[in-house]
Structure 1
């Protein structure tokens, strides 16, 4: 039996949950790209995974964006290497990185107010700048 893929200290996924298929890569590569299925398409059913907690599923779904199907399956395609094992490793690393990014809730932003001194500096800079622009204008009397 294969070892579980560790995401965090408490979350790991079973390799049997990941489905890999090999397809022909697009782009340059000549004869190699035409006859060898070196690109890897990795599928991971996020919604039906028993090892991922519900809050983490929601965060990963938001991060996955267009890589997520309507059925809740994450689809990653790796075809940057000419070698199939390298593409497999890259696709798995991208899945693990995506799951790790969604593992932790982002720190909430604490709203702050500008200090009185920074407000004063801002107004002084605006007054100085408007004075410079006023000096550039053509001298003319107001009629």
Structure 2
């Protein structure tokens, strides 16, 4: 079983990666119509034993538009004229997705106050208002009237 290094300290089994080559629509001059320089990297996310369940779930969430129904992540690379550079580009993009999936999500920062905290604030304001209202002048019932 051969391993392909995707990042520092992270390698994937070669049988989980499949490379397909096709003609590129990008630059290449006369050469472009004769060679298959574009690369399609297909990575089986669901069956890869190297991925943990949390990383697999985050990867599926991050790259959901690039994952087929069968659970295969598809990366198209055709930026360069050479097939080898496109292959390296596809592997680097896969590595970047995996690095992003490895990082745990940032904790949620609550933005709006909860209903209970709003009610506590309002009841405190009402209590302070009543306390201050009691500090006014004392009015006694008059005998005049």
The TM-score, its normalising length taken from structure 2, stands at 0.69
Matches of 1:112 and 1:71, distance apart in 2: 38
Secondary structure of residue in 2 paired with 1:40: strand
Gaps of 5+ in 2: 114-145
Q: Deviations over 1:18-76 (max 9, x none)?
A: 11011000144332111110011100000011110111111001111221101110000
- Summarize the Cα distance change of 1:7–1:28 in structure 2 as closer, same or farther, 3 Å threshold: closer
- Which of the two has higher C-alpha Rg? 2
Secondary structure of residue in 2 paired with 1:102: helix
Q: Could you tell me whether the CA contact under 8 Å between 1:5 and 1:15 is conserved in 2?
A: no
What pairs up with 1:52-131 in 2 under 5 angstroms? 52-111=51-110
Q: What is the aligned-residue RMSD (CA, Å)?
A: 2.2
Matches of 2:3 and 2:111, distance apart in 1: 47
Secondary structure of residue in 2 paired with 1:58: helix
Number of matched residues?
113
The TM-score, its normalising length taken from structure 1, stands at 0.70
Gaps of 5+ in 1: 115-143
**Segments of 4+ in structure 1 off by > 6 A?**
none
Q: Deviations over 1:101-143 (max 9, x none)?
A: 01122121232679xxxxxxxxxxxxxxxxxxxxxxxxxxxxx
